A and B are shown apart, each in its own frame.
Chain A
Amino acid sequence: MTVGDAPTTDRLAIWAPPLTCARPFVAALENGPNKDLFEVTEAAPEDCAHAFRSGRAAVALVSSERFWRLAHDPALDVRIVPHAAISVHGALPNHLDEAADEHCLGDVARTVTEWRKRSGLPFVSWLWVARAGAANEPRLAGLFRRLSAVLADVSVTAASVASAEFLRYELGSHELSGLAAFVEELHRTAGLPSSERPSLRIRLLDLDLPDPLGLPVVRPRRKVSGKTSIDGLLADAAAGSRIAPEAAALLYERASLLDLGEAADRRRRALHPENIVTYIIDRNVNYTNVCVTACKFCNFFRPEKSREGYTLSRDELAQKFGETVALGGIQILLQGGVNPHLPLTYYEDLFRWTKSNFPLALHALSPEEVSFIARQESLSIATVLERLIAAGLDSLPGGGAEILDDDIRRRISPLKCSTDTWLDVMRQAHRLGLRTTATLVFGFGERPEQMVGHLDRLRALQDVTDGFTAFICWPFQAEGTRLRLGDDTTAQRYLRIFSLARLYLDNFPNLQVSWPTMGPTIGQVALRFGGNDFGSAMIEENVVSQAGAVFKLSAADIEERVRAAGFVPCRRNMRYELLSSHPPASGKSHVTAVSRPIGLSASA
């Protein structure tokens, strides 16, 4: 059924296999206002790859099983169109089950039901994919923006055809987790031994789309299977199975501390069988404390006109950087307030000056700072990052995430970047080849599902980009701040969240303990609760120490504690590559030969 011709020679085609669930889509496309744009063809899905390859089609609606095949085709560079998918959350209702049989959907329906039962994750049944580079991206964005208008009309139809409880037109983090898990499952059922499995990246098309596409999002009813035992969930998670958010919340609330720790410890042993605990020598330099974000939980920042506000001079920076090199440091963790008086050129100059004068890596600017610079300069995030990389930026720290939940963020840091912006900066940084870390700060009165939601968003992004090197969490340090919450920030809660994170973030290679906030004692204990990195022998820290956490450890102290906990200490760089020899105390040419990086693939 041809709906219409594209107005230009660069015709875009959408491929839609016959599908009851997608019928509202197709119907809307037939009747919608954009007849001039789309060509919908009922062709055999296998032809999709051919159509992509030959350039006849740029976009297709494919089932997730077929997506797997397309994504493996080395000749194609398939991307998922963000925020456009049909995912099935519940079991299919009976009337659709029958309809599904009629329309050769029986397999899908059975898969969905079984999938839900086993994984607890949504099942993405159909998704829009595009061939990267087949059409220029702005044109695709325009296409999907118009499509979104059509889909908004569709929602009413969709609700009447399928009960709105289980159908969703959204591809959020939860759905991406489901998709990644399903693809993993297909790998397994395809019988490929793990060593021969092609590593499949789920990549998103880099489109500037509203999020979600103005579509009504139907949230599934929260359901936790009563049959699932805590022990069973822990055993699966320790063996490396993906945990669903509901299961994670259940474990967080119900599993005993030691059981969680044991499962996390087993997972850590599987990922890092070499029994090494790494650490880095770097210096935390806070180049300015002037900040317009004014987060309620912060005792470091000073407002713009404050007499206590500072921005470090070149001389001060040179002294700090020089000391860092002399003490064997290999990196500067450079973060500041969000200071409106510092233009992008300030950072470019600073980075270039650093690189030409010191043998130091720049682990600099959290997503909040990057997005602020982009806003202030009216540049895209990608452009800001590209310019900073050209000036010497090596990686981004994962700070400012707090809890990636906009309800919480509005309450504690209303002026700070949103969840999506934080994730978007990280996504773009990863796309440009930067590695970054990710953090979580708890103790803001968040509910377990909000904390798990945070982990889920990180895991989903990591599925797509694989750009996070490590996860770090710590409790909110309240002293001297304007936030009085009385939330639990004890060691128990830290260890529970930390071990849960080790289990939940199955695609994060490293978990770093937070001794600057928890103290060297619990920092060390956390190595037995899933941690494999002791963080930094910090030469300086200004933020949490302003809010009541004051601990200091030298490299020798760290090594002693790591050994006492039964591990072999080893220095690393930001990419978690082991440094084969320790730098001499004078420290010149110490970033020497590097052994293999520690990654997930190291497990066996």
Chain B
Amino acid sequence: MSFSAVRDKVRAGEPLGFDDGVTLFRHPNLLDLGQLANDVRERLHGERTFYNRNMHINATNVCVAGCRFCSFARLKTGDPGAYTMTLQQAWGRLRERLAANDPLTEIHIVNGLNEELPFSYYTDLLAGLKRLSPTVHLKAFTAVEIFFFHQHYGMPVAEVLSQLRAAGLDSLPGGGAEIFAPRVRHKLCADKCDADQWLDVHRTAHRMGLRSNCTMLYGHVETIEERVDHLLRLRGLQEETGGFQTFVPLAFHPDGNALRRLPAPTATEDLRAFAVSRLLLHNIPHVKAYWVMLGIKTAQTAQWFGADDLDGTVQEERIYHMAGAETPQHLGVADIVHLIEQAGRLPVERDTLYNVVAEASANAHGKPFRRAIAPEAGRALP
């Protein structure tokens, strides 16, 4: 399979197959991939790049899973660095934002798998946040956490989800997918739910009308074939449910975890992962450049390699920063808008479900950077 054959397929709007994905990952010319992914990205979203005003809450890092790539988790309360926020502390985070008149639209909540907490901790957490701000969108608990709740509290996944929804849950983040291949999961995160279980949580959520995101953690011990397999499995579920909004490629960070001898992925690999994901996942609307993980400079550049979303203002992030990310804890809206505009894109503030909150009427700099797109390059989203 040659690159030009894959390019023809993309231009004709045909879905790519496994071999196509491998070809793309192995194609030496990064800018070829960028151009092709950018065509698709511009066809879907034009010049728009989305961002939101959000905050992260990582309520506990106590976690029974011993994932080797993780620098965040501590096995039990009392271990050095272990913490569990009281509900008042967690709610206090939001109170601070509200007191500062931050018009935030989303709270992103991801935690360790803490066996010491009752299920009511989570429902109370959500309900309390909703009481403080009824309009804020609660994007909470990865599929791994939901599956842990199912096992630990002895409830079917659907029951876990509907109780959380009743307490205020609006959607699921996409974490914990890592790489689906059993070989890799066995090596890195044997305690975590497997691929089918992860996908099943999302399937259940989608069927209940909850939207969710999905991810891939790359750049550790996985092969290119395992990456392509992972992406195609996400695409398969999307074909079935249409419930994924956004795909987020996540680069492995090696500091402070059991895989510290591995080199971190470099920026050319990051951009390649973005471009190939955009091309393979034709049915997932958005690809997000998570600046906390990528670094601001690479995240900005990723807007030309398939990404149409820069995530949000974040406020405070612990998981990547404990793995050596050197990005700031917080970006102001003005900073994000600047990054987008200087890349020749049009900044659009969105809420979690991609409703437009604010959109500049025109690129402030009036820079017509955009390339003409071949009309035949179209393939409609479901």
Contacts and interface: CB of A to CB of B under 8 A. Distances in A.
Interface of A: 253-259, 261-262, 265, 488, 490-493, 495, 518-522, 524-525, 527-528, 560-561, 564-566
A257 B344 contact: yes
Contacts of B34: 258, 261
Counting chain B residues whose Cβ lies within 8 A of the other chain, the interface size class is 20 to 34
B224 to A, nearest CB: 14
B297 A259 contact: no
B338 A522 contact: no
B301 A524 contact: no
B369 A521 contact: no
Nearest to A261: B31
A492 B343 contact: yes
Nearest to B35: A258
Interface string B357-369: 0000000000111
Contacts of B271: 525
Contacts of B268: 524-525, 527-528, 564-566
Contacts of A525: 267-268, 271, 298, 301
Given A258-B304, A265-B31, A524-B266, 4 more contacts: A257-B344, A258-B31, A492-B342, A521-B270
B367 A253 contact: yes
A525 B30 CA distance: 9
B263 interface: yes
- What is the predominant secondary structure among interface residues of chain B facing chain A? helix
The 3 closest A-B pairs by CB, nearest first: A521-B267, A491-B297, A564-B266
Contacts of A492: 300-301, 342-344
A490 B297 contact: yes
B259 interface: no
B148 to A, nearest CB: 34
24 contacts: A254-B368, A256-B304, A256-B369, A256-B371, A257-B344, A258-B34, A258-B35, A258-B371, A262-B31, A265-B29, A488-B342, A490-B339, A491-B300, A520-B267, A521-B297, A524-B266, A525-B298, A528-B268, A560-B263, A560-B266, A564-B266, A564-B269, A565-B30, A566-B28
Contacts of B296: 491
A256 B344 contact: yes
Nearest to A266: B31
Q: Which of B31, B268, B342 has the most CB of A within 10 A?
A: B31
B370 interface: yes
Contact of B369 (A257, A490, A491, A524): A257
Contact of B35 (A262, A495, A560, A565): A262
Interface in B341-363: 342-344
Given A491-B300, A493-B342, A521 B266 contact: yes
Interface string B284-302: 0000000000011110110
A488 B295 CA distance: 17
Nearest to A551: B326
B38 interface: yes
A51 to B, nearest CB: 55
A544 B81 CA distance: 35
Q: Which of A255, A256, A258 has the most CB of B within 10 A?
A: A258
A38 B310 CA distance: 71
Interface string B112-125: 00000000000000
A84 to B, nearest CB: 41
B264 to A, nearest CB: 10
A258 B32 CA distance: 9
A382 B342 CA distance: 44
Contacts of A259: 371
Nearest to B38: A258
Given A257-B344, A265-B31, A491 B298 contact: yes
B300 A256 contact: no
Nearest to B305: A258
A119 B273 CA distance: 41
A518 B297 contact: yes
Contacts of B35: 258, 262
A257 B371 CA distance: 10
A184 to B, nearest CB: 28
Contacts of A493: 342
B299 to A, nearest CB: 9
Interface string B362-382: 000001111100000000000
Contacts of B298: 491, 521-522, 525
Nearest to B367: A253
Q: Which of A493, A525, A560 has the most CB of B within 10 A?
A: A525
Contact of B295 (A255, A521, A561): A521
A257 B343 CA distance: 8
A262 B371 CA distance: 13
A561 B35 CA distance: 22
A522 B267 contact: yes
Contacts of A265: 29, 31
Nearest to B343: A492
A560 B339 CA distance: 28
A303 to B, nearest CB: 32
A258 B42 CA distance: 13
Nearest to A489: B342
Given A522-B297, A565-B268, A490 B304 contact: no
Contacts of B343: 257, 490, 492
